[in-house]
């Protein structure tokens, strides 16, 4: 229930960092390719050389979410970033329970037997699910601002929680009304006007069609949901990243991940919030690179 509500609402808060971007992604760059899973067509980009590294974007975002990481990573890693089904240039309807299967199929298609897996926000939940369901395909795991697993048990009802009726608000009054409600929400802490990260987040919001709110659907259940009980079974070295200004609830979730996953460590990105990779990219990249190259 907590995770489901999070998936339906978290992205709308990115309106805060600006709705004035004039144009968005008219055309994909030449390096972008597509892969047909048999159910959906995934848009992806594979660049660089070295150990395989997968970057999984968060809710309302797309593969461009990692633009500020690419220069730092592609000299040492073979970086795969892709649009999850229903987001960006990929087809289908958003479905976090199908995302791990999609990624496994994409890696098989690319002849990648295992990789480092990095996930942000809802993408962190997907990364966790992938690690639990495809453990042999995960070398190192990075959970960044990740949503809680099933059975977490602590309700998200504090001052940093979201309204539970966001789909109804979007359907009855439009996404602008949702933005108004969330304009001062703590999820936006850490952005600075005029920065490259703020512009990128604004552009990604402009390309978000709100389909998951306007036409919500139940997850397919293609992949078993990650659960609290299985956290101790994760044997991949794991890094839990949290922005200094992250919401209290997500700080609690991060602490639980660090506590329950045996071979894990937790770092805090100073000056960053829920989207620290866009707000403090140099600090974020340094921690990510350090962990992956240990």
Alpha helices in 85-223 (DSSP H): 99-109, 122-133, 166-173, 175-181, 196-206, 211-214
Q: What is the pLDDT of residue 29?
A: 66
Tally of domains within the chain: 1
**Mean pLDDT taken over the chain:** 89
Residue 83 to residues 56, 108, 127, 240, Cα–Cα distance (Å): 8, 17, 14, 22
Q: What is the pLDDT of residue 13?
A: 43
Q: Does residue 229 lie in a domain region?
A: yes
Contact predicate 116/292, CB 8 Å: yes
Query: 3-class secondary structure for 216-279?
Result: CCCCCCCCCCCEHHHHHHCCCCEEEEEECCCCHHHHHHHHHHHHHCCCEEEEEECCCCCCHHHH
254 vs 27: which has the higher pLDDT? 254
| Local confidence band at 7 (pLDDT 50, 70, 90 cut-offs) | very low
Q: Does residue 154 lie in a domain region?
A: yes
Q: What is the pLDDT of residue 63?
A: 98
Whether pLDDT at 32 is above 60: yes
Neighbours of 124 (CB within 10 A): 28
Q: Which of 138, 165, 127, 136 is nearest to 241 (CA)?
A: 127
Domain membership of residue 185 as a residue range? 2-22+44-292
Q: Does residue 140 lie in a domain region?
A: yes
**Sign of CA pseudo-dihedral 186, 122, 227, 265:** negative
Q: Does residue 38 lie in a domain region?
A: no
Q: Does residue 37 lie in a domain region?
A: no
With tokens 């839990």, the residue in question is: 240
Q: How far apart are CA 120 and CA 275, in angstroms?
A: 8
Q: What is the pLDDT of residue 118?
A: 98
Q: Does residue 32 lie in a domain region?
A: no
Contact predicate 92/121, CB 8 Å: no
pLDDT (mean) for 80-97: 97
| Local confidence band at 178 (pLDDT 50, 70, 90 cut-offs) | low
| Local confidence band at 212 (pLDDT 50, 70, 90 cut-offs) | confident
Q: What is the pLDDT of residue 206?
A: 83
Instruction: Identify any residues that bridge with 264 across adjacent strands, giving them in sequence order.
Output: 238
Q: Does residue 27 lie in a domain region?
A: no
Secondary structure element (H or E) that encloses residue 69, with its range = helix 67-73
Q: What is the pLDDT of residue 182?
A: 57
Q: What is the pLDDT of residue 270?
A: 98
Give per-residue pLDDT as tens, 97-153: 999 999 999 999 999 999 999 999 999 999 999 999 999 999 999 999 999 999 999
CATH number of the domain within which 257 lies = 3.40.50.1820
- The SS3 assignment for 206 reads helix
Give per-residue pLDDT as tens, 34-77: 999 999 999 999 999 999 999 999 998 999 999 999 999 999 99
Q: How far apart are CA 6 and CA 124, in angstroms?
A: 13
Please state whether the predicted TM-score (pTM) of the whole model is above 0.75.
Answer: yes
Q: Which of 236, 243, 238, 240 is nearest to 266 (CA)?
A: 240
Contact predicate 129/225, CB 8 Å: yes
Q: Does residue 226 lie in a domain region?
A: yes
């Amino acid at each position: 229930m907590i995770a489901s509500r999070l998936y339906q609402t978290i992205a709308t808060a990115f309106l805060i960092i600006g709705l004035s971007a004039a144009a968005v992604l008219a055309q994909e760059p030449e390096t972008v390719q597509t892969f047909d899973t048999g159910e959906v067509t995934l848009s992806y980009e594979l660049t660089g050389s070295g150990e395989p590294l997968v970057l999984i974007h968060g809710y309302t975002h797309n593969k461009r979410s990692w633009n500020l990481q690419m220069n730092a990573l592609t000299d040492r890693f073979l970086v795969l970033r892709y649009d999850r089904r229903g987001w960006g240039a990929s087809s289908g309807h958003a479905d976090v329970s199908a995302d791990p299967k999609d990624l496994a199929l994409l890696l098989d298609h690319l002849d990648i037997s295992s990789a480092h897996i990095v996930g942000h926000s809802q993408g962190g939940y997907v990364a966790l699910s992938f690690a639990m369901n495809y453990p042999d395909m995960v070398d190192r795991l990075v959970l960044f601002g990740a949503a809680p697993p099933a059975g977490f048990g602590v309700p998200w009802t504090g001052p940093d929680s979201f309204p539970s009726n966001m789909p109804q608000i979007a359907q009855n009054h439009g996404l602008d009304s949702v933005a108004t409600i969330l304009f001062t929400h703590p999820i936006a802490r850490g952005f600075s006007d005029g920065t490259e990260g703020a512009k990128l987040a604004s552009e990604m919001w402009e390309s978000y069609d709100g389909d998951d709110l306007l036409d919500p659907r139940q997850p397919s259940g293609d992949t078993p949901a990650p659960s609290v009980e299985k956290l101790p079974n994760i044997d991949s070295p794991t890094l839990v990243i949290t922005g200094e200004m992250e919401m209290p609830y997500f700080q609690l979730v991060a602490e639980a991940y660090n506590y329950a996953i045996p071979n894990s460590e937790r770092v805090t990105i100073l000056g960053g919030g829920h989207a620290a990779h866009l707000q403090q990219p140099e600090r974020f990249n340094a921690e990510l690179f350090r962990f992956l190259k240990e």
